[in-house]
Structure 1
């Protein structure tokens, strides 16, 4: 039986404006010390839970991203945060950058249902790659976000929140992808249709690795690599990584799966991978050895990836539920997985949910 850990959320902080509970849409997870940072895909906040004496996580605190960044849309529309990472006193976060196709509604007429399937929507706040200063309290061990704060390692130097240049319909990253030979044909396709869709971020020093749920090219998934740097105006730009472009593409044969989450341990990268389309299917965790050891683009064949664990997913009566979205390392032998759309068996009471603990197989 899979070991599980309870995550407890505050009833005062857990509902968005549409009444959706934060536990019902968890999209990424990051453990820093005793703090478990989580995001829900239909909010403008990120959540902090703290490890309690019994091993569960609680003491829920919520941080509104509007307090730290100048988001493209001022109507408090969702950010769809799909990845978080930490390095050099900065919390990095990334939105999905994806388009959405409307769903048919059963109570509508057939012509109206067909028409809805033709409509594609863009959420302005999804186009975000940003960093926010984060410091650990030496007394309590708790991590807290700041809009601007002095660097504890470099007195007199200020850390400040920043984001990649962008607007309500794009940013620097999507502008580059619209010119890319592999990705450009998928930029106007919704994420759930195998279009461009970010799900996962990991940080190694100044290098940011971005996992793509889509597109998947003949079974091959992609990881983008960039190195953001701050310009004179405080806006993030992308460092030129070669004579031709400011990013690298790494191709991984996950046999049709897209990437749901990335985590780095030492030189290795752990990948949570599952269906790119909106369907039930195998979700598994892979290890990519020496992923960050080098500065060249890589093509990684399936037999060069270690398939570590299969993750439970909904099927049958639970179709569309228990979709593994977030992965974080508890220690060098255990990983924590959180789920979008949890089943009734995974929810506890009105405000708690169970996350799975999986062992790292050597």
Structure 2
């Protein structure tokens, strides 16, 4: 069962300096109270929309992450935000951490197009795992970001923005994965080539689950689990876990699909899964029951995952469009899905776009 909801963006905030409208590149979605938080894959901002009386989300506000974090590239180099989550009065964000291969340009000569396919770029801001204090404003009822603020739950304690230590070419996470038996061979491969590519973030207390769109190993997708901790200088590091590593790996047989988004639902986890490479294919939502029940690495065969529903994707004349990227839980029965490269049918006026509301529990 599917319904629609309109996401209405502000005309001045919706279109960035590069000309791409935020509605055309939605990469993640998160629901908190009356707010939907969104990001566009080519920006260094996060967008907040608020529930309106007619059921749509509007009253758009944009938050520039340069004001809260020390981004490696001081210009507007994209973060490629691919996951958001919330816990303990913090909004968590993660970049794709992936390499990017240049696209051929049709108007160029064949020689130039071939050369472009050999170019691989590393955007510094993509190596981001960070948290920003987020509190509900008593007057407006909207959640708002802060660089530093008092903790309402622990008097005398400060909440402050922090991020995982990193450089312009890597982070602590990617440096540690360079020696991993499953992931290391893919670290130098661009994301859209089945290389290392983060898409999805889910938070539960100190436990952070990171979904990988790639690599997919013989049909098996991976979810990483880490537990960041803050040092006296306000930087985040990765806690050493019981397996004598700073991360756990969970393996899920989703029959060749990679992770597009992760969301907790009680002790369970919802997985938005689709093609790992740049192609059309089935996109579906799965349920990983008891994802939080054990603090150890898990391996789930296909029949151990519950397939909840399929998500629409572009086909035929709309090939390459309606790529489901973000998943937000609205209530105990419904989820909201947002799309990168929406079809014309989804566009509403000059600044709106339709998201799908799917019933996953009867």
Alignment correspondent of 2:126? 126
SS of residue paired to 2:167? coil
TM-fit CA distance, 1:156:
1.1
Alignment correspondent of 2:235? 235
Contact 2:332 2:361 in 1 (8 A): no
Paired with 2:198 and 2:335, the residues of 1 have a C-alpha distance of 21
Provide structure 2 residue ranges, at least 5 long, that are not aligned to the other structure: none
- Flag as ranges the 4+ runs of structure 1 deviating above 6 A: none
Paired with 2:137 and 2:351, the residues of 1 have a C-alpha distance of 28
Once the two structures are overlaid, the 10-residue window that deviates more, 297-306 or 238-247, is 238-247
TM-fit CA distance, 1:174:
0.3
SS of residue paired to 1:12? helix
Alignment correspondent of 2:66? 66
Paired with 2:75 and 2:37, the residues of 1 have a C-alpha distance of 24
Paired with 2:266 and 2:2, the residues of 1 have a C-alpha distance of 26
TM-score when normalising by structure 2:
0.99
Paired with 2:163 and 2:40, the residues of 1 have a C-alpha distance of 20
Once the two structures are overlaid, the 10-residue window that deviates more, 108-117 or 127-136, is 108-117
Alignment correspondent of 1:156? 156
Alignment correspondent of 1:80? 80
Paired with 1:301 and 1:331, the residues of 2 have a C-alpha distance of 28
**Given the alignment of the two structures, is residue 40 of structure 1 paired with residue 49 of structure 2, yes or no?**
no
Alignment correspondent of 2:97? 97
TM-fit CA distance, 1:243:
4.7
Measured on the aligned residues, the alpha-carbon RMSD in Å equals 0.8
Trace 1:201-240 onto structure 2 (pairs within 5 A): 201-240=201-240
TM-fit CA distance, 1:128:
0.3
SS of residue paired to 2:85? strand
**Given the alignment of the two structures, is residue 30 of structure 1 paired with residue 30 of structure 2, yes or no?**
yes
Paired with 2:338 and 2:243, the residues of 1 have a C-alpha distance of 40
Paired with 1:105 and 1:138, the residues of 2 have a C-alpha distance of 50
Paired with 2:55 and 2:15, the residues of 1 have a C-alpha distance of 25
Alignment coverage as a number of residue pairs = 362
TM-fit CA distance, 1:216:
0.2
Contact 2:334 2:361 in 1 (8 A): no
Paired with 2:2 and 2:244, the residues of 1 have a C-alpha distance of 47
Alignment correspondent of 2:2? 2
SS of residue paired to 2:6? strand
TM-fit CA distance, 1:361:
3.3
Paired with 1:15 and 1:297, the residues of 2 have a C-alpha distance of 42
SS of residue paired to 2:70? coil
Q: 1:243 to 1:280 in 2, by over 3 A?
A: closer
Contact 2:44 2:66 in 1 (8 A): yes
Contact 2:274 2:281 in 1 (8 A): yes
Paired with 1:54 and 1:109, the residues of 2 have a C-alpha distance of 51
Paired with 1:154 and 1:336, the residues of 2 have a C-alpha distance of 33
Alignment correspondent of 2:339? 339
Contact 2:280 2:313 in 1 (8 A): yes
Q: List per-residue Cα deviations over 1:233-254 (Å, max 9, x = no partner).
A: 1100011112520110000000
Paired with 1:113 and 1:41, the residues of 2 have a C-alpha distance of 24
Q: 1:243 to 1:336 in 2, by over 3 A?
A: closer
SS of residue paired to 1:216? strand
Trace 1:1-362 onto structure 2 (pairs within 5 A): 2-361=2-361
